[in-house]
A = this chain, B = another copy of it.
Amino acid sequence: MKYRKIPDETVRRLPVYLRGLQYLLDQGKKSVSSIELAEILHVGATQIRKDFSYFGDFGTRGVGYNVGTLIRQIRAILKLSGTRGAALVGVGNLGTALLSYPGFGTYGLEIVVVFDNDPTKIGKQIGGARIEGIEKISELKKRGIKLAIIAVPAEEAQSVADKLVAAGVNGILNFAPHFLSAPKKVKVITIDIAMELGRLPYYI
């Protein structure tokens, strides 16, 4: 395969493929064609083949793709090999929900540190971690944690993000309904739940 720039959209779809493949693996499937995968995921079969082709020749012509191999390949592309520790900031309802959310594992992520600014919460044990004060964020660098999840109210989101960036975090998943400013080298993904709901009525 010749080199070509990988479309952002392709990267966005890789985790989708990964989920579908994991599902097939759980079903005991060894091999899958782009057509079968397309049906499960509601994506075009050509799309799938083209996406994979950016990274190399993963399939066998006339046969399809080996499920296990493909999962490993995609995990490698997404740099999900091994487990990465992530910090969670904010232990309200949403934060608590995230702590018990299954599925981070598939993506090689584990919440290992938890912060909150509520004195009544600090020190409490939750999931596998102890809740620490917001000021301890500065110690993330020392602990080698590079990913963080923001689940605090909108007003505090930017200030938390600044602290995280200062502590050397380079990837942030933001659930606060607020636009975050961060240096270019820091990748921020915002999930605004209400905003997704907002476009639902349009399509109805």
Contacts and interface: CB of A to CB of B under 8 A. Distances in A.
Interface residues of A, number: 59
B97 A194 contact: no
A35 interface: no
B96 A194 contact: no
Interface of A: 11-12, 14-16, 18-20, 40-42, 77-80, 84, 86, 92-94, 96-104, 106-109, 146-147, 149, 153-154, 170-171, 173, 177, 179, 187, 189, 191-204
A12 B199 contact: yes
A169 to B, nearest CB: 10
In the A-B complex, list the 7 residue pairs whose CB atoms are closest, starting with the nearest. A15-B198, A93-B97, A103-B194, A107-B198, A94-B97, A187-B203, A79-B201
B146 A204 contact: yes
